[in-house]
Structure 1
């Protein structure tokens, strides 16, 4: 079992754990900022009969201690973090359960109430005590209301815990769309917090042990089985988590800060990020309050710095032009809960040169040219580790651009809607992997980009798993050029391009003219593309195409074009090619033109392909005429082995399914 001390901290803030203990009529808060069993902060606040509540009520990245008094419905907030009441808000009363979370994405925690008898949730989002948001969800005896951001959109989602079942509603339809099971012991307290600082909410249940200790069972991957344990001394208290001031924190606030002597503590923050960077030491965390920072942030020869805001809608770095953040020859620089927005000339969100960076939940939409640019320099490589980052909505260029030996890993990112503005560039797309760079992409989305979803060139290598690449407006889902390598496993390539004639459209994947690299396509889905699912223009190294689904592509599942000065090779085995019912056009399963095409299609056992629903002679077809300028390219050299051919559930012979190749 994992100990909580073994946790990793990739990009963002990690929470402290604490216990609120009744003590002589008051509540005493014991906070362990490092989750190592050592109390760092002790503070008394409120009455022992109050309900402790927590949140960043001012948008400063600091969790404020607060209490809710059920008898009067008054919330008392320690906004100065000094044990005194900074604000009192009347909101609630007997019968309500307090709940806190950021329900509107403004980077400030909102006051909430839950009525378990009706399932009604109400929130005051401006600390006025007036209801601004209300909805119904839950309403079962024993419900415990909680909130956390499960879908990485910068807004907390309502969660109901009851008897070990966690019901999460991320799409606001007030029906659970994520359900987890963990805990269930009577009297245990449920909590949700981002234990690793990766925006993966961990489930926790805290229970009193016979020894008097509180035992925290923490399930970071929400599988109900992989449990880490943490113990806190007092079994009589109420457990909580939050983000509190630490010795390595530097605070910045564009509204209340100043860059003079003594700046940096949460009580006297800097005004500009640049001043905080100049004062930062290796290992520092620069904590950015909600607001707009109108500056170009530059880091030269820095190391081990973290920049953490209050959310992707609330902490905004917005210069007039050029790079919102420029990182040069720096190592282990992390960015989280930020919007990097540079709409002017040559605007880029982050530009990293000869540096290693980590990005958590950030966004770059509205930026002019590139969301994230990473490039190596003077023999020093750049590395990128991005998790749940949103490189969307770049006006004229790419969401992510890697070149000249960059090493990148991307998990759960989005690079969508890029290059859709007037004056778009030739690199208007989702992800570019160029030069001799390497990228591994998992569980990510590349939707509605202008010219490509993803592309690789030079000797780059792109490995992609479990991702969605679709709706490229003027191009293909994936484009491969040069001597690059593509390994695509378990992805969906769908609905790319516009139809502009019987054979004019765009492809799910295209191996471009002059391509001399390697391709491995396995377990993918190619659906509804306006030309081919896979188009092969050049492939001197045999492309492996196995176990994929091809359905409803406008021209063909796989198409070859053989006008290159070298041969093209492919092995096509274990795939399923189908035409949906009532599909409006006649399409091919596998088609090709040109005698320089060599493909093995099918085989014994699981190597056989299935072709279902195609017209006669259109499951596998070849031609020798390539149109004007290519009047007689010759027939493709297909080696056709065992395959299954069907129409309306009835097997048909190969003689009716395969066009005679003569």
Structure 2
């Protein structure tokens, strides 16, 4: 949220509609009241200033609300309908997040491109979960789904075309991110029953796994040390503690949050 290229420890508190985050740049805390417990959080950089904006999608009205990081003013706009799943991302590669929704009722994607125009694309079948990320490293987020019934990933890569993979098992939580520093998101998941992470390397489709976390933890992958590599991390609701396995800075445990808080780096992790 502070534009230093490091993922910030951050939560959304549904009761009062509050956002709290710890700035990695100086260790200070920021708090803002924006939204309600029935809204779906959708933080991303909608204004192109290099900082994540606090934002949410309101399913009841199909509206988006964005709190500008520049001056904490807000704007809103309609895009979507009740039942849609917000899937913001930089689909056109211009450095600004595009509001987008996946409509499960018709398995259709609607993308409001920041450069102009709306993209409408059918992709998926009933029960699929969106797993948006840049899987081919071209600077554009790709339309992608995870099919939990068969543990399949279907990825419509904007540069390299369609890719289908079987990776995972029932109950796994998808956590795609660039864990190998090649500029491409790796297909990955967290297995709550064992506290293990599994990563399928985008380079050669070999995989590796490692233990980090325990049953009940919420996966919150991100680049917490700013070295360009995604770090495995979990938020433990039982004691409101964050555990970070940083690729450069090492292990860190951070107490941040209270009972009922939602970790915002988990906003697009599907479970």
Q: TM-score, normalised by structure 2?
A: 0.64
1:28 corresponds in structure 2 to: 19
Structure 2 residue 97 is the aligned partner of structure 1 residue 96: no
Which residue, out of 199, 210, 217, partners 1:227? 210
Is 1:170 the counterpart of 2:170? The answer is: no
Distance of aligned partners of 1:178 and 1:27 in 2 relative to their CA distance in 1, 3 Å threshold:
farther
Alignment of 1:160-559 (within 5 A): 160-163=145-148, 164-171=151-158, 176-182=162-168, 184-185=170-171, 188=173, 190-195=174-179, 197-205=181-189, 217=197, 219=199, 221=201, 223=206, 225-227=208-210, 229=212, 230-234=233-237, 236-241=260-265
Distance 1:220 1:15 in 2: 23
Following superposition, the deviation at residue 207 of structure 1 comes to 7.5
Q: Identify unmatched segments of 5+ residues in structure 2.
A: 213-232, 239-259, 267-271
Deviation at 1:221, TM superposition (A): 2.7
For 2:61, the equivalent position in structure 1 comes to 72
> 2: CA distance between counterparts of 1:217 and 1:32?
26
Q: 1:153: how far off?
A: 1.9
The residue matched to 1:241 in structure 2 has which SS?
Answer: helix
Distance 1:40 1:184, change over 3 A: farther
Whether the aligned pair in 1 keeps the contact of 2:198 and 2:208 (CA below 8 Å) is: no
Bigger radius of gyration among the two: 1
Question: How far apart, CA to CA, are the structure 2 residues paired with 1:196 and 1:43?
Answer: 33
Question: CA separation of 1:178/1:207 partners in 2, compared to 1, >3 Å: closer, same or farther?
Answer: closer
**How big is the alpha-carbon RMSD for the aligned residues of Structure 1 and Structure 2?**
3.6
More strand per residue: 1
Q: How far apart are residue 116 of structure 1 and its match?
A: 1.5
Aligned residues: 215
Contact 2:35 2:56 in 1 (8 A): yes
Residue 155, structure 1, aligned to residue 143, structure 2: no
Can you list the C-alpha shifts for 1:51-90, whole angstroms capped at 9, x where unaligned? 11122212222222211111111111122267x4522111
Find the aligned partners of 1:234 and 1:25 in 2 and give their Cα distance.
18
Aligned equivalent of 1:113? 101
TM-score by length of 1: 0.29
Q: Could you tell me how far apart the structure 2 residues matched to 1:241 and 1:154 are? A: 20
Q: In 2, are the aligned partners of 1:17 and 1:31 still within 8 Å (CA)?
A: yes
Say which of 111, 132, 135 aligns to 1:123.
111
Q: State the Cα deviation string for residues 481-501 of structure 1 (Å, max 9, x = none).
A: xxxxxxxxxxxxxxxxxxxxx
**CA deviation string 1:118-137 (max 9, x = no partner):** 21101111398xx6111111
Structure 1 46/70 Cα, relative in aligned 2: closer, same or farther at 3 Å?
Answer: same
SS of 1:55's partner is coil
1:89-122 per-residue CA deviation (whole Å, 9 max, x = no partner) reads: 1111202111011111211110001111221101
SS in 2 for 1:16: coil
Displacement of 1:193 in angstroms is: 2.9
The answer to whether 1:139 aligns with 2:138 is no
Task: Decide whether aligned partners of structure 1 residues 165 and 225 sit closer, same or farther in structure 2, where only a CA change above 3 A counts.
Answer: farther
- Distance in 2 (CA, whole Å) between partners of 1:202 and 1:32 is 27
8 Å Cα contact 1:200/1:220 also seen in 2: no
Matched residues in 1 for 2:75 and 2:86: separation?
17
Between 1 and 2, higher relative CO (CA 8 Å, sep ≥ 6) is seen in: 2
Closer/same/farther in 2, CA of residues 134 and 74 from structure 1, 3 Å limit: same
Deviation at 1:160, TM superposition (A): 0.3
Judged with a 3 Å threshold, the aligned counterparts in structure 2 of structure 1 residues 203 and 172 are, in CA distance, closer, same or farther, namely: closer
The question of 1:61 aligning with 2:50 is answered: yes
Separation in 2, partners of 1:238, 1:171: 31
Change beyond 3 A, Cα 1:136–1:176: same
The answer to whether the 8 Å contact 1:115/1:139 transfers is no
Q: Which runs of 5+ in 1 are unaligned?
A: 1-12, 210-214, 243-662
CA 207–75 in structure 1, closer or farther in 2 if over 3 Å, else same? farther
TM superposition outliers: structure 1 runs of 4+ over 6 Å: none
Gap change, CA 1:125 and 1:176, over 3 Å in 2: same
Offset of 1:199 from its aligned partner?
A: 1.1
